[in-house]
């Protein structure tokens, strides 16, 4: 199943994709794809209905919102690809590096991204994003984590490196600007992903391919990350986990290739889909 939300910002309606270009609305069955509804069996309720009997709509006529509404948490795993750690000059970590970004950074996959005032070091990061299906705390093993995953989606984990790296404190400062986490175009449930640890993921800027790698370069695989995070916080339905980015980010080039505003950034993962973001300068 491919879970989607269609409509204007804050007016999205829950839907299910029935082809690459068409969807059916399910807002008469569930109020939204969000924490409360997922905790009350939203996935099971939608699976129980006959989607083929419902009228289809062309998604070209709708905005694609974030496929999960108002996540409680947006959790990130840093330096989780071997080649990315190397390009940043960091030693590959011996256990996952975990940090947070503000949950309200999450916007629709094709929404505009606003470059902060005076930013010189706004960067892009393609990531496979895990969406949590049900509450997870102190899971016993990484293998157990698979049962807690609602599905996978494409995340653009935008970063402002000056605030992230050059100012004291935690990385969250460079990660939490408004619009800094486009997610989409939809959530693909695990039954449709043969192997999430063998997916090509890529990111281009104005047509130039900058990142082109595979999730098999992860240092800590997805299930391990979910299990590990559950040891230090409780995960809830609808929470998202950005599982790390591969090499090719702007800060990894010599000279660096940061975004200045005006760029068109395309981000994709084979088997899931792609999103497109215009990066625009902040206007007061």
Where in the chain are the domains?
A: 2-61, 74-281
Q: What is the pLDDT of residue 197?
A: 98
Helix, strand, coil shares, percent, the chain, to 5 = 20, 35, 45
Do the Cβ atoms of 235 and 148 come closer than 8 Å?
Answer: yes
**pLDDT confidence of residue 218:** 98
- The pLDDT of residue 89: 86
Averaged pLDDT in 10-residue chunks for the chain of 284 residues: 97 97 98 98 97 97 97 97 90 94 98 97 98 98 98 98 90 96 98 97 98 98 98 98 97 96 98 98 93
**Is the pTM value of this prediction over 0.85?**
yes
* 140-178 burial code (b ≥16 CB/10 A, e <16): eebeebeebbbbbbbbbbbbbbbbbeeeeeebebbbbbe
pLDDT of residue 88: 85
Among the listed residues 210, 150, 216, 207, the one whose alpha carbon sits nearest the alpha carbon of residue 183: 150
> How high is the pLDDT of residue 39?
98
Q: Residue 253 has what pLDDT?
A: 95
CATH class of 74-281: alpha beta
Contact of 277 with 267, CB cutoff 8 Å: yes
pLDDT value at residue 284 = 85
Closest CA to 11 of 78, 84, 63: 63
pLDDT at 168: 82
């Amino acid at each position: 199943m491919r879970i989607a939300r269609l409509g204007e910002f804050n007016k999205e309606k829950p839907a299910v994709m029935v082809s690459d270009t068409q969807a059916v609305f399910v807002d008469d069955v569930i109020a939204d794809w969000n924490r409360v509804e997922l905790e009350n069996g939203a996935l099971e309720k939608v699976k129980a209905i006959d989607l083929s009997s419902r009228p289809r709509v062309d998604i070209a006529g709708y905005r694609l919102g974030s496929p999960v509404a108002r996540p409680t948490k947006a959790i990130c795993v840093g330096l989780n690809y071997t080649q990315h750690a190397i390009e940043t000059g960091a030693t590959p970590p011996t256990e996952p590096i975990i940090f947070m970004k503000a949950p309200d950074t999450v916007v629709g996959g094709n929404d505009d991204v606003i470059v902060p005032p005076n930013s010189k070091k706004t960067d892009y990061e393609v990531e496979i994003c895990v969406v949590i299906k049900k509450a997870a705390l102190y899971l016993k093993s990484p293998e157990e984590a698979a049962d807690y995953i609602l599905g996978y989606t494409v995340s653009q984990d935008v970063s402002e490196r000056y605030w992230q790296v050059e100012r004291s404190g935690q990385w969250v400062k460079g990660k939490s600007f408004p619009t800094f986490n486009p997610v989409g175009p939809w959530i693909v449930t695990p039954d449709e992903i043969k192997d999430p640890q063998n997916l090509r993921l890529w990111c281009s800027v104005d047509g130039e391919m900058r990142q082109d790698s595979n999730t098999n370069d992860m240092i800590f695989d997805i299930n391990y990350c979910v299990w590990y995070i559950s040891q230090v916080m409780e995960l809830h339905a609808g929470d998202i986990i950005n599982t790390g980015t591969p090499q090719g980010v702007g800060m990894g080039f010599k000279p660096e290739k940061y975004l200045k505003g005006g760029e068109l950034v395309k981000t994709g993962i084979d088997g899931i889909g792609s999103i497109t973001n215009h990066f625009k300068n902040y206007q007061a």
